[in-house]
Chain A
Amino acid sequence: MVLPHRPGVGFKPQHYAGLTGDPGPVEWVEVHAENYMGDGGRALAQLASLRDRFALSVHGVGLSIGGEGRLDGDHLSRVRRVCERFEPASFSEHLAWSTHEGVYFNDLLPLPYREDTLARTAAHVQEVQEALARPILIENPSVYVTLPASEMDEIDFLTELAARTGCGLLLDVNNVLVSATNRQTDPLDYIDRFPHALVGEIHLGGHAVDADERGAPLLIDDHAHPVAPQVWALLDRTLALAGPQPVLIEWDNDLPDWPTLRAEAARAGAALDRAALDALR
């Protein structure tokens, strides 16, 4: 079971009627694992019903895989339970940390890229893969600061993480633009250098535009806006290099109506169609 190389959407309960009534080009949905860890109720029933109609990806936001501490075994068990219950085609998490000494920060926080953090993150990825009995995907983060403690490039870190653990990579193209802008590096260069053969899924989402203290552009990954034009352009480049992929629209805050979200998915579908055609040439 794999995710189709077609458009998907991050599922929100507010879109249940729209998605099931008129899915348009949407062939798969992604949900945050943490929203399906209750004992019962509407969320689980909705997901069980969606699961019959759409391919499913489960996306974790709370395992703190890039953290200094041990993985939270209770939380890993809950993730396993969600995966056993819904048998998703894919499970993914983030190159980030969210818990420190038991306090959960509800954010995806940056880690320095060094040999010691790589070894620890690889051990965590392996632990998750063993618990879930499947390879997982790890997503490139949005970052707002450059950490002086880093000694490695992010792409080298991710490539080596995949080599050591056998995990795949989830390439969030909006995160590429956000992080490259904030680090004052070239997003196109990042896309070009990314290990394309390891990509198992692509994320697209919206960001907000702000400025830092010196007036330099500061992009904020808020998932509250349409996908930006530069991100669509980077998607075309990504698909040309990595080939067709499952492409997800993430819109988590200030939710649009269903037709607006479906139109974003249709635009991703058109990009996938173009890429498939180009691949034949």
Chain B
Amino acid sequence: MTGRSFQADFARALREPDRPLPDGLTDSRRFAVYRNTHAVTLAEALAQGFPVVAALVGAEFFAALAGAYRMAHPPRSPLLRLYGRAFPDFIAGFPPAAALPFLADVARLEWALLDSAEAADAPALPPASLAALPPDRLYAARLTLAPAVRLLSSAHPVLSIWRAHQPGGAAPGPGAERILITRPAFDPVPVALSEASFAALRMLASGATVGEAARHGDLTEVFTLLLDGGAITGLS
């Protein structure tokens, strides 16, 4: 064979439907089976990972969005679960989505949920072992949070929007939201936090001691949510 390889021609014709068929192939309906599988299964993988984004924009818009994403960010790994990693940032820069300024952050929340679901397992500290600590020891301690913990904040009510698309969900209100995701068993659970609690949680997550974090907000809510979510896995 001379020049470009068989596989290079085939791959290019697959990705770019306007190109002619690879050398020697004549039936476009036959080649379309490959083109469709490539385009449709990747769009389905995104729709499965980002169901609320898909519901917010509708099937037609989502198909166009998924197609544009596939051209800009073709999968670089056989692990399809990683395929949506760049999707939130892509949405943020996708001009036709500009009318929905919250869409990229909803996608960030959905990506965080996906990512949390497959994070490493880690046994939670029993709540009693924390309660047994003398206050000065607790204040000097730093927490190790579970690998499945995720923190997000958004200028938009993204968790309320997400909840509105779950069974029995209510219509979202306005305003910024700060979100903690824990994974008590296998299903990631997102909850909204007050601004002060989130500030304190963020400090804990970045390695501050409990005492340092307590100066930035009330830790009662934070500890309740972390313990309920099985999210504290160690103390140091």
Contacts and interface: CB of A to CB of B under 8 A. Distances in A.
Given A75-B78, A100-B11, A109-B34, A149 B147 contact: no
Contacts of B183: 41
Given A39-B120, A98-B78, A213-B27, A106 B42 contact: yes
A131 to B, nearest CB: 15
A214 B27 contact: yes
Contact of B186 (A45, A104, A107, A211): A45
Given A41-B183, A106-B80, 14 more contacts: A40-B118, A41-B119, A103-B15, A103-B74, A103-B75, A103-B76, A104-B74, A104-B75, A107-B34, A112-B6, A148-B25, A182-B30, A213-B30, A218-B30
A11 interface: no
Contacts of A211: 29
A107 B37 contact: yes
A102 B76 contact: yes
Nearest to A69: B7
B78 A42 contact: no
B118 A107 contact: no
Given A40-B118, A43-B118, A45-B186, A67 B78 contact: no
B220 interface: no
Nearest to A214: B27
Closest 9 CB pairs between A and B? A62-B78, A38-B118, A148-B24, A42-B186, A40-B121, A100-B11, A39-B120, A40-B120, A104-B75
The residue in B27, B33, B80, B183 that gathers the most chain A C-beta atoms within 10 A of its C-beta is B33
Contacts of A105: 11, 14, 38, 75
Given A42-B186, A43-B118, A45-B186, A75 B77 contact: yes
Query: Looking at chain A, what size class is its interface with the partner chain?
Result: 35 or more
A108 to B, nearest CB: 9
A73 B25 CA distance: 32
Query: Looking at chain B, what size class is its interface with the partner chain?
Result: 35 or more
B117 interface: yes
B81 interface: yes
B226 to A, nearest CB: 18
B77 A104 contact: yes
A67 B14 CA distance: 15
A101 interface: yes
A78 B118 CA distance: 15
13 contacts: A68-B5, A103-B11, A105-B38, A105-B75, A148-B24, A148-B25, A149-B23, A149-B24, A212-B27, A212-B29, A218-B29, A218-B30, A220-B33
Contacts of A103: 11, 15, 74-76
Contacts of A147: 6, 24-25
A104 B42 CA distance: 10
Contact of A144 (B7, B30, B148): B30
A149 B76 contact: no
B236 interface: no
A145 B25 contact: yes
Nearest to B8: A100
Contacts of B186: 41-42, 45
A155 B127 CA distance: 63
B44 to A, nearest CB: 9
Nearest to A182: B30
B33 A218 contact: yes
Nearest to A117: B6
B28 interface: yes
Interface in A1-57: 34, 37-45
The residue in B10, B77, B78, B120 that gathers the most chain A C-beta atoms within 10 A of its C-beta is B78
B31 interface: yes
Contacts of A137: none
A145 B7 contact: no
A112 B80 CA distance: 26
B208 to A, nearest CB: 26
Contacts of B74: 103-104
